[in-house]
Structure 1
Amino acid sequence: MRVNRNLSEIIHNDVTGVIHGPLVQARDVFGDVHLHGEDSLPKPSQLPPKPRLIDRELVIAELDGLREERSESPLTVLITGPAGVGKSTLSLAWAYMISPHFSDGQLYADLSGDSRVGPASPRAILGDFLHSLGVPTDLIPGDLAQRAALYRTVTRDQRILVLLDDAMTAAQVRPLLPSSPASITLVTSRYRLAGLLMQGARSVYVDRFDAEASLALLRDALGGERLEHQQEAATELVELCMRLPLALSLAAARLAARPSWPLREMVTALAEKQKALTALTIGDDMALNSALNLSYRALRADSARLYRLLGLVPGDRFGGDAAAALAGISKMESRRLLGELTDANLLTDIADGRYRFHHTLVRMHATQLAEAEDQHEERNLAVQRLLAWYLATAARAERRLRPYRTHLPRDAEPPPAEITDFGGPEDALEWLEAERTNLSAAVTLAHEHGREATAWQLADSMWALFLHMGHYMERIEVEQTGLAAARSCGDAHAEGKMLNRLGLTFNALGRHDEAAARLEEALTIWRRLGAREREIGSLRRLGLVAAGRGDLDLAIARLTDASTAFHELGSDRKTALALIDLAGVLLTQERGLDAVVHLERARRLLQSVDDSYNRTRVRIFLGYAHADSGNYDDADRELRVALEEMSELGSSAGRAAALEGLGRLAEREGHGGEARRIYETALEAIGQDGSIGYFRIKARLDAFAD
C-alpha cells in the first residue's frame, strides 16, 4: 500500500487556464450522469479595472438611496446622459463600492450600443453569463427566450450585480436582467430606454461636470501649480470642452504631454477647431468631436496613421506586434507610436502589455477617419498585413506545441517581415490563449473579406490551443467558419480537415450524432481523394464516437483496425494514438491489464517522436490502468509525473485528466476527503465546459454529497 501524501504535493497554484480540451473525454463514462446545483468554480468577478472617479458625490448618494429603498423586486438602475459625460466611469466606480454586498458575483457586458459593427447580441451575452454562472455548455439552449428563462432560473436566489454598459434598446437589456430580489442591474445608455422605465427601472441622469469639478479634473491631470497661474485660460478651456469629462480628459492628456505649453494656446486651438466644424455637429457632439479632432491633428503623421488603422483591428485589444504588422512598421516603431497615442489619451494600456481604445467613441472616430483619409486599397492592405501576421504567428506557436506536424498549409498570406517567436511550448500556448479572441475574430474577418484560404488555415492553426484549453462555445464557431471558408475556396483537403475538427468537437460535447455525420462526410472526401492515412484517421475518430455512444465492441474493432492500418503505413505516432484510444475503451470494461499492454507499446512508439503532450497522455492512461489493476504505487507515480508535465506545459485539459486519475486513486484507497479535494481542483482546471470530461468529474464530486 502506498503512503498517502498531502494534497499540496498534488495540486499546484499555477493553473493557467480554466477550460478542458478533448482529452479522455469520450472513453470512460460510468453509468448515468447526474448534475446538481453546487458550483465548483469561483464566483464570476467580471468588472473591468476600477476607474479613478472625480466628483460625482451627489449622484453616488442618489444611487445609494435607490439601493437602500429597494423593494422585494430586483433593482434595475438606468444611468443615462450624453456621450462622453462619464456614465461608464460612474457606474463602474459605484459597482466597485457596492460589490462586497453581492456574494454570488458580478457580471459585466459591453452592449456596444454605439459600435460601428452594431449592438451586441443578448443571446450571445446570455450564453457567456450562463457559462460563467456554472451552466455546462451543452445545457445552454440556442434560443434567446429559452436562454433568458434559464438565466432567470439560475439567478433566482442569487445576490448578483450585473453591469450592462452602452445599451441601445430596452429589448437588448430585458433578457439580461436577473430575477433575484437581492440583485442589482446597472445599465448605461445615451438613450432614455422608456421600455425599461415602464417596467419599473429607476433612472439616474448624469449631467456634465460643473465648473469646479471640471477644474478638479484638470488639476488632477496637470497639477495645481500649473492651473494656479493660468486660471482664466483653464476656465475658458472647461467651457470649450462643455464640461464633458471625456473631452476634458483628451485636452488634459494633450497638455500633460507638453508641460511647457500654455493653456491659452490650447484654448485658442480648440476654439478655432470648433468654429471649423460643420453645422451638423452641435452641442455635446461638437465638444467631443472638436476634442478628438484636436488631439488627432496634434499627432505626428505616423502616429495619426496608426491611430486610423487601429480602427480596423477585429478584436478589442491589440499588442505592439499586431499593430506593427497592421501598419507595416517595425515592432520598435510600433511601441513608440502606441506610447504616443496612450499619452494623448486615445489609447489605454492594459495589464498584459496590450492596448485598447480609451472609449468606444474614440474607436468610432478612428474608424471614420480611416474611411475618410485612407484609400480603400490601403485599408485592405492593412487588413491583409494583419491577417498575415496572425496566420504566421499562430503557425509558429503551433509548431512549438506540435513540432511533429510538418508541411502544414500556412501559405495563404505572404509572411510578415517580423514574426513573433516563442522560447518554448509554454510561451506559445500562453500567446495563443491571450490572443484567442483576436484570432477567432480574425477567422471571421478573413472569411468576410473573401480571404477563404486564410480563414480556414487560421482556424486550423488554432487546433493546438483548443487541444489544450477547450473553449468549446467559441471553438465550434471558429471551426464552422473554417469549414464554410474551405468549401468556398473549393479545397477538398481543407474541407475534410475542418470536418474532422468539428467531429471531434461535437464528440467531446456528447453530440455524437452530429460528430458521426461530420466524420462520415470527411471519410467520403478522403476516399475520393485516395488519402489512405486520412481515411484511417477518420475511421479512428468514428471509433471514438462509437465509444461515446456506448457501442464498445464496435469501438474496439475500429480502433484495433486503425492501429493495424497505421502500423502498416509506418506511422508510429498515429499508431500510438490509436492504441491510446483503444486502451481508453478497454478501461471502461475494467480491462486494465490489457490496456497496459497497448499503452506500453504506445510509449515505445512515441519515444522517437517529438510529442511530449501525447507521451504524457500515455502516463495518464497508464495511471488509470495500473489503478484498475491494483498496482497503486505505479499508478501514483505515473499520474504525479503526468500532472507535473501537464502543469509545466500549461495544459488545463491534461492537468484535469491527471487530477481525475489521482482522485480515483484516492477513492480506491478509501481517502474520500482527499479525493473530493482533488476533484474540486480538477473542476477548477477543466472549467464548466459542457464536455463529457466535465460531466464525469462533476458526477464523481457530486457523489460525495449523496
Structure 2
Amino acid sequence: MHNVVSGAGGNVVQVNSLTGDVNIMSGAGKAVPKQLPASPWPFVNRRKELADLDARLIARGTDAAWLGVVSGLGGVGKTATVLRWANAVASQFPDGQLYVDYAALRTESGTAVGDALADCLRGLGVQDDHIPGSSSGRLGLFRTKIAGRRCLIVLDDVTEPAQVLPFLPNAPGSAVVVTSNDRLVDLQLNGADPIMLQPLRPDDGVRMLQELCGEQRVLAERETARELVRLCAGLPIALRVASARLVASPRLRIGDLVSELADESRRLHGFARRGERLVSAVFDNVYRNLPGEAAMVYRRLGCVPCLDITWDVAEIAAMGVGGVDDAVQRLIEANLLNEVEGDRLRFHDLVRLHARECAARDEPAEVEASIVRAVAGHYLPRAVFADLATMNPNRLRIADPTALTEGLTDPFNGSSVKAAKWQVRERANLLHVLRAVADRGWHETAWQLAEALVPLYLNQRYLADWVESSELGAVAARLASNPAAEARLRSLVSRAYTDLGELTRAKEELHTAKELAHESGNLVLVASVWEFTGRYLDKVNPAGAVDAYRQAIEVNTAAKEWRGVALVTYFLGRALHASGDHAGALPLLTEAHETLTGMGDQRMAARALLSLGVARAKAGETEAARDALGAAADVLEQRGAVIYEAEARQALAGVLERTGDLDGARAQLRRVLEIHEKGGADVTDLVARLARLSPGAP
C-alpha cells in the first residue's frame, strides 16, 4: 500500500468506508488522515482513463475545485481505477486522505450522508464527543475543518447527487471524484466533468489476460483470447475470475474455456441483459469447476447477510463442511472472494449475487434460513455483551441479557473500549443481520437485536442506521405482541429524530411509546418515556419539559426506581433553569447532586454539580458558583469526561472574568482550548475569547 503524502499543500478526502483511521499531525497541528486503500493488483490498462483524469485535474488548475464523476457498469472497475489514480496523485494533496464506502452506509430509506460526514470528521481528527448530533452541525464542522485545505475527495458507490453536494469543498485546488453506476447528470449543473468508464476493449482485455495468465500462454491463442474478453463482456471482474480458472488449470487451453463459456452463455438464456448473461456464464463456469467443498462454501457464504464476512462467521455458514480455511483460500485464488482489512472476506456485488443464485439452485430450501439463523445467533449475544460493557448494566432493558448470553463467554471481558471498537467495526454487518431476520419474520430476534444496538447509536450517532434499526425492531415487537419492547425502541429513537431535526416524527414516536408503555404496565418504562419526552421538549418547549419531568419523577417514585428519580430530578432542575426559574432549579440540582453522590455515581453527581454552579452564577451567588464549577471540573477531569469538564471550565472562566480574575479565566480557557483542540472541535470563537482576555488586548 502506497499512501504517499508530500508536497507543498493539500488534503485528500476520499469517501468510502472508514474502518480504521490513520492520522498524522501536520506542522500546523491538523490531523492528516491517510486512508486510501491500496489499488488492486495487478492493475492493467485504463491508461487512457487515468490520463483523462490527470488532464482534467490539470485543466481546472489551482484556482478552483474540480468535480469528476466516473460512471459505468457494475464490475467495470470504477473503484479500482479511481483508487489507482488517487494513490498516484496523493502527493499533490498532502493534507490527507479519507475513504468512506457509501455501500456500507446505505439504509432502507437511503444513504446516510450525515453518518458519512461523521466518519470524515473522525478521519480529520474530531473525537466522537465533539461530533455534532445533527447533519447540519456535522456539515458545518466538516466545512470548517477542510477550509483552506486542498482536498481530493473521492465518493465511492454514489447513487444520487445529494450524497455528493455536502462534500464539495470551497478551497481552490481541491478535487472531488465520484464513482457511480449512474451518470448523475444533475451534478453537471455544479460543473461536474463526466467520465464514462467503458468495458475493456479487446486488445486491453488481452493485455490484462497476459498480466494474469502469462504473456506466452495468451499470445499463443491471441484471437481466442479476444473472444474470451468478449464473453466476459469486457468487465475486469469477470476477466479476473476467468483468468483464475486458467491459472488453476495450466493444461486448460483458452479455446477450451471459450467453448465452455459459450455453452454456459447459451444455457443462461433467462437473464434479461446480454452483459448479465455473459458475466454469469463466467462465474458459473468457475463455480462448476471448484472442488466440492469449495463450491459448497461459496454458495453458503452467499447466504450470509453481511457486507463483510469474518472468519468465524465463515465457519458458521459452512455448516459443518470440513476444511473451511482451505475452501476459502481456494475461493480467494479463484478471485470469487476478496480478503479485506487482513482478516475479513468480501464478495464483489456481482459475485455475491451469483453465489446466492447457486445456493437457491443447488442447496435445499432450508439451508439459507439455517445459515441466517446461525449468523444471527452469533451476532445477537455479542451485541448484548457489547451493550453491557458500554452502558450501565442496570439501565432499563426489555430483553433479558442473562438469558441471551447464558453459557457464553464475554468476548470483551467487560472492556468498554473493546466492545465499542467491535460495535463500530461490525456496524454495517449488524444492520444487515437485523434486516435479514426482520425479513424472515423472526420477530423476537429482530427486536432483541435492535434493542442491543441502541448503545452503538447513542455513543456513535449513526443516525440513519438508528432510525432504520429502531423501526425494524419496533415493527417486530408489535408483531411479537410485545408493547414494552416497541415502546422502548420508539422512545429511544426519538433522540435520533430530534438530532435529525425531524421534530414532528420525534413527537409521534413518543406519543406512540407513551400509549404502549401504559399498555405494558411497566412503571419504569412509563417513567422512562416521560423522561425522553422531557428531553425532546427541552429543545422545543422548556416549560412543557418541566411537566414531563415531574410526571417521570412521580412514576419513578411509585416504582421505587430511586436512581431514576435522582436523574430526572437533575433534568428537571436543568429545565427550570432553562425556563428562567433559577430559584426553583437550585434546590432540585442540590438534591440531585447529593443523591447521586450518595449512590456512588460520581460522574452524574459532577454533572449535577456543574448545572448547580451555572444556576448559582445566574442567581448571583458568585462565590458558591465558583466553588461548585471548580469542584465539578476537577471530578469530571478525573473521570475522563472531558466534554463536560470543558463545559464546567468555560462557565467557571465566565465567573472569574466577571470578578476581575482575568489570569484565572485565561487558565481555565487554556484548558478548554486544549480539550477542544485535541478533540478536533472548531476553536475559532475560543481563540478569539482568549485573545480578548490577553494582557494589552484592546
Alignment pair present for 1:534 and 2:534: no
Match of 2:371 in 1: 382
Give CA-to-partner distance per residue, 1:524-543, whole Å, 9 cap, x none.
33334433332233333334
Equivalent in 48, 55, 78 of residue 65 of structure 1: 55
Alignment pair present for 1:604 and 2:592: no
Residue 574 of structure 1 and its aligned partner are, at CA, apart by 2.9
Residue 638 of structure 1 and its aligned partner are, at CA, apart by 0.8
Match of 1:678 in 2: 675
Equivalent in 337, 343, 347 of residue 347 of structure 1: 337
Q: 1:364 to 1:44 in 2, by over 3 A?
A: farther
Give CA-to-partner distance per residue, 1:636-680, whole Å, 9 cap, x none.
43122211xxxxxxxxxx554445445555665313344233234
Alignment pair present for 1:404 and 2:394: yes
Instruction: Tell me the distance in 2 between the aligned counterparts of 1:700 and 1:507.
Output: 27
List aligned pairs for 1:532-571, cutoff 5 A: 532-549=523-540, 551=542, 559=549, 562-563=552-553, 566=556, 569-571=559-561
Give identity over the alignment, percent: 24
- Please give the root-mean-square deviation of Cα atoms over the aligned residues, in Å: 5.2
Query: SS where residue 455 of structure 1 aligns?
Result: helix
Match of 1:124 in 2: 111
Instruction: Tell me the distance in 2 between the aligned counterparts of 1:196 and 1:509.
Output: 25
Match of 1:208 in 2: 200
| Contact kept? 2:244, 2:333, Cα under 8 Å | yes
Instruction: Tell me the distance in 2 between the aligned counterparts of 1:363 and 1:702.
Output: 54
Give CA-to-partner distance per residue, 1:136-188, whole Å, 9 cap, x none.
664659xxxxx9xxx999999985545455678x9899978959685645455
Match of 1:610 in 2: none
Query: SS where residue 265 of structure 2 aligns?
Result: coil
Equivalent in 481, 489, 498 of residue 498 of structure 1: 489
Match of 1:240 in 2: 228
Instruction: Tell me the distance in 1 between the aligned counterparts of 2:45 and 2:425.
Output: 36
Residue 460 of structure 1 and its aligned partner are, at CA, apart by 0.9
Equivalent in 632, 635, 646 of residue 635 of structure 1: 632
Instruction: Tell me the distance in 2 between the aligned counterparts of 1:556 and 1:619.
Output: 22
> One-letter code of the match for 2:360?
E
Instruction: Tell me the distance in 1 between the aligned counterparts of 2:107 and 2:465.
Output: 16
Query: SS where residue 277 of structure 1 aligns?
Result: helix
Match of 2:84 in 1: 93
| Contact kept? 1:388, 1:414, Cα under 8 Å | no
Match of 2:659 in 1: none
Give CA-to-partner distance per residue, 1:503-558, whole Å, 9 cap, x none.
34445667666545433433333334433332233333334344444636x65676
Instruction: Tell me the distance in 2 between the aligned counterparts of 1:89 and 1:139.
Output: 30
Residue 238 of structure 1 and its aligned partner are, at CA, apart by 7.4
Alignment pair present for 1:274 and 2:265: no
List aligned pairs for 1:265-344, cutoff 5 A: 265=252, 267=254, 270-279=257-266, 280=269, 288-329=279-320, 335-344=325-334
Instruction: Tell me the distance in 2 between the aligned counterparts of 1:516 and 1:192.
Output: 39
List aligned pairs for 1:81-480, cutoff 5 A: 84-99=75-90, 101=92, 124=111, 126-127=113-114, 138=134, 140=136, 161-163=152-154, 165=156, 178=168, 184-188=175-179, 201-203=193-195, 206=198, 208=200, 214=206, 219=211, 232=220, 240-241=228-229, 245-254=236-245, 262=250, 264-265=251-252, 267=254, 270-279=257-266, 280=269, 288-329=279-320, 335-351=325-341, 353-357=343-347, 359-401=348-390, 402-404=392-394, 408-409=398-399, 421-426=411-416, 427-480=418-471
Q: 1:17 to 1:77 in 2, by over 3 A?
A: closer
| Contact kept? 1:253, 1:343, Cα under 8 Å | yes
Query: SS where residue 111 of structure 2 aligns?
Result: helix
| Contact kept? 1:443, 1:478, Cα under 8 Å | yes
Give CA-to-partner distance per residue, 1:215-244, whole Å, 9 cap, x none.
57655x67x8xx679974799667635576
Query: SS where residue 309 of structure 2 aligns?
Result: coil
Query: SS where residue 404 of structure 1 aligns?
Result: coil
Instruction: Tell me the distance in 2 between the aligned counterparts of 1:468 and 1:531.
Output: 26
Q: 1:207 to 1:216 in 2, by over 3 A?
A: closer
Instruction: Tell me the distance in 2 between the aligned counterparts of 1:698 and 1:88.
Output: 37
Residue 701 of structure 1 and its aligned partner are, at CA, apart by 7.9
Q: 1:60 to 1:234 in 2, by over 3 A?
A: same
Segments of 5+ residues of structure 1 without an aligned counterpart are: 1-14, 19-39, 142-146, 608-613, 644-653, 689-696
If asked which structure has higher relative contact order (CA below 8 Å, sep 6+), I would say 1
Residue 203 of structure 1 and its aligned partner are, at CA, apart by 4.0
Instruction: Tell me the distance in 2 between the aligned counterparts of 1:172 and 1:632.
Output: 44
Instruction: Tell me the distance in 1 between the aligned counterparts of 2:332 and 2:499.
Output: 43
